[in-house]
Chains A and B, each alone.
Chain A
Amino acid sequence: MNWNFQLGIHPDADQLSVFVEGAATSREHEQMLAHLAECAECRKAVFFMQPHEEAQRAARTPVKGWILGRLLPVGLPAAALACGLVAVLIYLRPHGAAPPASQQVASLRKPEVILPPTAIAPSADSEMDQRSRLPRGVAPVNDLSRRDNLKLPTVNLPSSTGRQAAARVAAPETTTANLSANAPVGHAGGSAGGVIGRISPELPLNGRNYDRLENFAKLQQVPAPPVAQGAASQNSLAEKKDLGGLMIERAPAQDKTLAGVSGRITDRSGAVVAGVTVMLRDASGNTRGTTTGADGSFNLTGLPAGRYELTATASGFKTIEQSIELNPSQLAMMEPVLDAGKVSETVEVTSAAAQLQTESANVGQVITGQVVAEVPVVGREVGAPFGLPVTATVSHGKRLISLDSAGNLFLSRNGGKKWKKINPQWAGKAVRIELTPSYSNEAPAKPENETLGKANEAAVFLLTTDSGTAWTSKDGAHWRKQ
């Protein structure tokens, strides 16, 4: 047979193709291998016959295409149908299988505060209405947290936002008008018109605040530590305000080497003063500064231990300077009391004007720096329109300018109905907004301050940035560098 190879006789193409395609019988296969082992040329031919790798791959592709082409049209709808069925089954499944959601959700009942209807004098309606629209720093949270600073020193180090969140849990429904402005006249002057003058002593603010504080303390599960001055009652609080001294307490051992200063700035009447620039200068002349919030509190942390000079500056108040010694990992509590400036005695404001322009500096500034917590303004729209707490607001006529804690400036031309953000033309952060001395210290009709130049006579608003630059503006929208 032709499969019995002899030397020099080679298989023909038919035999080769049968072998390569695997169609040969085992005997033929063996014979072919035996020949190939000897014959280099037939080996070469056999290897030549192997389809190219790419050609093989290309040949495989149509098979894949066939699978995709034939199976996909059937498989895809089937898969979609299956998905639909599963969805329907899930939808139809009795929901009773899952435990009722209400059993798992803890509900937090808001503490109800019944405000005495006599809190506001009947004649205060129009005034309060107007006030509610004013962009005063409405920050019950801060107010509480300020007291927290007093009573619960261990809660000092958490960030202010944390405190706010906690405080919101404690009193979420609180609507408090915190009418703070850095107007120069303190409440102690006693020259204000009747309405506002009546609010502070008559409203049972302090007691309620204390109740809230107790709630807050319970929520925090932190027992109020017995502070030396005894912060258990408003009376003791008042005492504490009067101390105005320096109180060193141990800060939580978060930072072993750094110290901090925290505190609250009040005026002689005990009202907190917002927008006070607090500067700390160390021995080498480096300064750190901040501004008190709407609750009059300030907080400076991360300070190296050492001796510092603290300076508190506020428009309308005498600048005070104190020296403090900071020890490592200690948090100094300070409560400086600002004295009103000399111009406070010269203000003459009629009661009618006070009713209309309650917070305006040019009508007496009776409530300057006054914390009016929880003023009953039910049903009125009171709130920070800018998302952040307002640190200061000044007004001139119907123009109001508010500065929030982020340094943004907002202008209202219609007494607070509409607000517009002022695009900063200055570099850095605006830290203080006030009226120029010619408008703030004097009655508008008779400017007596001759220290300012002619160019500043028309300027109404004075802005100070964190770099110390002063900008003035006549209308609040257009600013000029001093």
Chain B
Amino acid sequence: MDIPPANINQTEPSGAEDCTASVAKGAAVEMELGPESRLLPEMLGEELWQAAGAEPIELSKAEFAEALEAIGAKDNFGLDPGKQPNGRQRELFWRALHLQELAIARGCALGRESAWRRFLAQYREPLTRAAVEMTGSVALGEELASALYSELFGLTEREGKRWSPLLRYSGRGSLMGWLRAILAQRRVNQYRKIGRETELGEIEPAARVSEQIELKQLEDLRAAIKMTLSAASAEERFVLSAYYLDQRTLHEISRVLRVHEATVSRKLKRATEHLRKELLRTLRGRGLSRRAAEEALGIDPRDVDINLRRLLQESAGGPNSNKERQE
């Protein structure tokens, strides 16, 4: 049941390989889900099929039911792993899906012409617009969008079978959101291909930290940060990383977390103070005097922000560099 998602792994240089890697996995999903199709009652399947408007898209009831079964099994109907869903929970899960968009995606993935016409009519323009937004350039955006089109259309064939990434759309989110995610991943792949040096350059301030802090202290700090961060909540870590490492604005972070800007600011402040306190405590626990520990973090509280950023970079760069060294 462990199905690794599509990879934009650092070890994989291109998105094409990413897609090919997923082909076999997608097929495997469908093959495995075959016997479980009876989980969907026929009446419910008929109702959902009609609600999805699957008929004009030339998607049969069986095909649609199969897709629903596969999606439910993949996410365990929205329940924690290990829990066995009952009929009611399954029905709620299926009814909550974006059924019409799921039908279009499935129809496209199966190569139905009418589904493609509808897909193009509904999503071609927004998709191109989103690509232009992401790249910040009309030419780059259109290039990105057209590359994605060909991929979605299923021009890639493996083992004589046509495959489209649309097969992996689950219907839990909107199809447009999924398309944006695909675009964003492709864009990040592009970045990685063309901008690795640039990204490494962004870590440059860490060198200055190294200059300021002795090596031993740096190692101590790195370990302390790792420990402190592991104790912090996932949200705190995300906020710290996005703010200090990616230099995202509070507004951008608030949109991702779907909270107000002020809330993010509060969380960030709390996380920073907590982190600093924990770091001081950890450093002093490792034998540093209070003064030495404060110096290591920067005495002036105003310096804490910038120092944290450097330290976080060190910390985030640490495992990767270790890994690269291992490789």
Contacts and interface: CB of A to CB of B under 8 A. Distances in A.
A43 B184 contact: no
Most buried by B among A15, A16, A17, A52: A17
A24 B174 CA distance: 12
Contacts of A112: none
Nearest to A6: B4
Given A12-B5, A27-B80, A43-B246, A48 B184 contact: yes
Nearest to A32: B234
Nearest to A27: B80
Contact of A48 (B11, B134, B172, B242): B134
B112 interface: no
Given A2-B2, A10-B5, A18 B173 contact: yes
Interface string B179-216: 01111110110011000000100000000000000000
Contacts of A8: 9-11
Q: What class of interface size applies to chain B in its complex with A?
A: 35 or more
A14 interface: yes
Judged by DSSP, the binding face of A is helix
B184 A18 contact: no
Contacts of B248: 47
Contacts of B199: 40
Contact of A2 (B5, B80, B181, B229): B5
A14 B234 contact: no
A1 B80 CA distance: 10
Q: Is the interface of B mostly helix, strand, loop or mixed?
A: helix
A55 interface: yes
A25 B78 contact: yes
B246 A17 contact: no
Contacts of B180: 17, 20, 48-49, 51
B172 A37 contact: no
B316 A14 contact: no
Nearest to B5: A12
Nearest to A24: B172
Interface in B291-327: 316, 319, 323
A50 interface: yes
A38 B245 CA distance: 11
Given A1-B76, A1-B81, A50 B256 contact: yes
Contact of B184 (A2, A16, A30): A16
A450 interface: no
Interface string B3-47: 111111111000000000010000000000000000000000000
B240 interface: yes
B219 interface: no
Interface in A1-37: 1-2, 4, 7-18, 20-23, 25, 27, 30-31, 33-34, 36-37
Interface of B: 1-11, 22, 74, 76, 78, 80-81, 129-130, 133-134, 165, 168-170, 172-174, 177-178, 180-185, 187-188, 191-192, 199, 229, 234-235, 237-238, 240-242, 245-246, 248, 252, 255-256, 258, 316, 319, 323
19 contacts: A7-B319, A11-B5, A14-B173, A15-B5, A18-B173, A20-B177, A33-B237, A36-B242, A37-B238, A40-B199, A40-B245, A45-B181, A45-B187, A47-B246, A49-B180, A49-B184, A50-B256, A51-B130, A51-B133
Given A1-B1, A41-B192, A48-B188, 11 more contacts: A1-B2, A4-B2, A10-B6, A20-B180, A27-B80, A33-B235, A37-B241, A41-B10, A44-B246, A46-B256, A47-B252
